[in-house]
Structure 1
């Protein structure tokens, strides 16, 4: 059976009486839903078996002369204030979600927009860590 598109899955839950929330899924970026008194991502819930069987990418370890992009993917800088550390974690998580969307989206225009957003987020993360 072919995999259904995200909007088809969400439309089905709306027709079933589900409520689309303003919050986004941290994994796929789709809106969360409230359905049968539970809040969850309907897209990830449907695609979970596919995601569980997919091999995980190898861990990224920055090289000695790593690029700024690789440095931004590294763990949180220990000298950051608690607020800056929280922002750094949020930016890192958002960048990871965008990378996943690039991997899963077949539309070249969307992928280019996600890649631009990753670049901007990475630059912001690097600037934050230089404070």
Structure 2
């Protein structure tokens, strides 16, 4: 089981490389958390205290997910031996979906590259 430092690195740091599987699964986890919070929000009356709580929780998760998705994409680009700045394309709506699919499909650079010795670990 991964320790806290590895999870923190995976979701919040920009150094190192990440594999296709880790990128996909981490992105899926972030999406599931957002969908769950949005679902919980829809179950309560809109003007209630509970509704306000779930709305705030959802928007907090969205903000955290934006950072995490960029960090994951930068590390995935590093695995492809590409500069992380290309992750800025994730902020373009249609391009972001295409970029996610492409990053899930293309294999990384075998062996070490300028961004790290191996995948799924910090540089």
Instruction: Say which structure is richer in strand.
Output: 1
Instruction: Answer with 1 or 2: which has the greater Rg.
Output: 1
TM-score tier after normalising by the smaller chain length? 0.3 to 0.5
Q: Which has the higher contact order (CA 8 A, sep 6+)?
A: 2
The TM-score normalised by the length of structure 1 is: 0.34
The TM-score normalised by the length of structure 2 is: 0.36
Instruction: Say which structure is richer in helix.
Output: 2
